[in-house]
Chain A
């Protein structure tokens, strides 16, 4: 089972591979894109420069370093869509990355996928920015030229394993997220702007919408007591802290034929990135053993210094008996 880890600086590559990452992914926002569209309409869903490489030179060195250690490098080109005017810049970035030896392009835009698949000899990974929830969608994207699918976070373990089995029949590789940053809303179906965290001259600073402190008022004719319970439940994500994990699901993913587990967090420190890779590697090594769930919970405690709970669980309480 492969481990796909994030990086944002070329010097992180060797350390992550040595820790056990077999595949790495990154984004690249260069000055040309930044000038026209800024990070607000980022080329790759991450709106902070710290999460991105800033030159093709850095990308080339990263690929060289990874390949020399037999690891792969993927590039995110996964904005939910690109408009007509943006496409030439996107295609230019893809062409350059392919010429540097990139192993896969992570893409969300459905119109762009067949274009890239036809023009370049490179694997296309379907980003979670274009979520696949069913077997027909797998077939659809296979026909468009996708070779690999990143499953959305919003699947049950059972659904993910079932889709992975269908993907295998189609010759598609599959990935599931297992650490960091659960999106309360489905990535590809959420249109809130993350950029409001940043202090750009033209953008008012505000909270991440999905975890903002909303006051919920129930509408309807239910009793005051029921409304009180419902309103509090509706505010469950408000001010919640992201300590998110799906390590417990690795056992079933590995047994169910999921090819790769993915770690989110391109903007994290190298220390956090290394700790994440170590934890995922330990969970993969422990998969299939009798005390696996206990091992996974211990790994969670070491990573986040806390007990896991529902709002932090990628897969709906799989770690404490629900699936």
Chain B
């Protein structure tokens, strides 16, 4: 993926790998997104958070902690991390329970993550031909298109809303509002699961079993390219989530988008970190 120079647009890099972030942070990124958006088992420890924040300080970068949807077990891990953030930091939330916890526990700014901002992300939508105009407009919109949803976020002191770069085009519908917007690229989140097929995937003893089971974080060693002619380019299974790649950024960027978030490492495996 090339490096864009887009005026006042802030470029951020998103990963939960300290090694990957350390290797990439000098490539023009002004902000680090550290953490995981879809799996509570990948929520970083407090010591990892401190290392990531140190990396930011050394490189004069801004810091965002990104958090997944999670159970009470995940909330227990996130609580201490929230206390470790300053008022200059951000926390990206993808779960309303996490949003409530963050509103109570942190001084950091709150951001509505891309998973919390619902969009129609099926890559096949780009193939709809001659659909009714009202429907096309709706399929390009998001939860943030609704004033009721924006009012709710505003009451919770959320000032930034995040979006995926849909193949059918996107309307942020944020013109005339106080919200800023982020756009993720190139990997678009399509679906998440807790019936994770990456968990224990390489153990023959686990063959045929699917459900919510403990795992050996096989997602650090395996990712999958999924091919089916109906879906055009490949989908990627990265841990408990599915993504597709959209290499083309809209030009000009949609209204209020002042940050681009590079989703590093979705289609690659990486070196395991010490836990």
Quick one: given A236-B197, A311-B210, are A192 and B191 in contact (CB under 8 Å)? yes
| Residues of chain A from 193 to 217 with CB closer than 8 A to chain B in the complex | 193, 196, 201-204, 206-207, 209-210, 212-217
| Residues of chain B from 93 to 129 with CB closer than 8 A to chain A in the complex | 95-101, 115, 118-122, 124-125, 127-129
Q: Does B59 contact A (CB under 8 A)?
A: no
Cα of A297 to Cα of B223 in the assembled complex, Å: 35
Contact of A191 among B118, B203, B204, B209 (CB under 8 A): B118
Quick one: given A133-B71, A134-B70, A220-B222, are A191 and B121 in contact (CB under 8 Å)? yes
Task: Name the residue among A80, A83, A156, A237 with the largest chain B CB count within 10 angstroms.
Answer: A83
B224 near A41 with CB under 8 A, answer no
Cα of A80 to Cα of B142 in the assembled complex, Å: 9
B143 near A84 with CB under 8 A, answer no
B72: chain A residues at CB < 8 Å are: 134-135, 159, 162
With an 8 Å Cβ cutoff, the count of chain B residues facing the other chain is: 83
Cα of A155 to Cα of B99 in the assembled complex, Å: 20
A81 near B201 with CB under 8 A, answer no
Contact of B197 among A192, A233, A315 (CB under 8 A): A233
Q: Does A140 contact B (CB under 8 A)?
A: yes
A159: chain B residues at CB < 8 Å are: 71-72
> Contact size class for A?
35 or more
A134 near B194 with CB under 8 A, answer no
A131 near B69 with CB under 8 A, answer yes
B70 near A204 with CB under 8 A, answer no
A216 near B226 with CB under 8 A, answer yes
**Secondary structure type dominating chain A contacts:** loop
A226 near B191 with CB under 8 A, answer no
A189 near B115 with CB under 8 A, answer yes
| Residues of chain B from 225 to 245 with CB closer than 8 A to chain A in the complex | 225-228, 230-231, 235, 237, 242
Contact of B237 among A86, A207, A216 (CB under 8 A): A216
Quick one: given A154-B212, A217-B224, A310-B208, are A140 and B96 in contact (CB under 8 Å)? yes
A227: chain B residues at CB < 8 Å are: 202, 222
Contact of A222 among B211, B221, B230 (CB under 8 A): B221
Contact with B along A301-320 (1 / 0, CB 8 A): 00000000111010111000
Quick one: given A136-B75, A234-B224, are A110 and B149 in contact (CB under 8 Å)? yes
B97 near A36 with CB under 8 A, answer no
Contact of B128 among A80, A155, A202, A219 (CB under 8 A): A202
A141: chain B residues at CB < 8 Å are: 96
Quick one: given A111-B152, A137-B96, A192-B190, are A219 and B135 in contact (CB under 8 Å)? no
Contact of A229 among B75, B130, B202, B210 (CB under 8 A): B202
Which residue of B has the minimal Cβ distance to A130?
B96
Task: Name the residue among B137, B207, B226 with the largest chain A CB count within 10 angstroms.
Answer: B226
Tell me how far the C-beta of B94 lies from the nearest C-beta in chain A, rounded to whole angstroms: 9
Which residue of A has the minimal Cβ distance to B131?
A202
Q: Does B268 contact A (CB under 8 A)?
A: yes
Tell me how far the C-beta of B102 lies from the nearest C-beta in chain A, rounded to whole angstroms: 10
A-B pairs with the 8 shortest C-beta distances? A316-B211, A137-B97, A111-B149, A111-B148, A136-B97, A220-B269, A81-B143, A191-B121
26 contacts between A and B (CB under 8 A): A80-B118, A83-B137, A110-B96, A133-B95, A134-B75, A135-B75, A154-B194, A185-B193, A185-B242, A189-B69, A190-B191, A191-B120, A201-B130, A202-B128, A210-B191, A214-B227, A220-B269, A222-B222, A230-B198, A230-B218, A233-B197, A234-B237, A236-B208, A310-B208, A313-B211, A317-B211
List 14 additional contacts besides A81-B149, A310-B208; criterion CB under 8 Å.
A36-B135, A84-B145, A109-B143, A109-B146, A111-B149, A114-B152, A134-B95, A190-B191, A191-B122, A192-B122, A204-B128, A219-B267, A219-B269, A227-B222
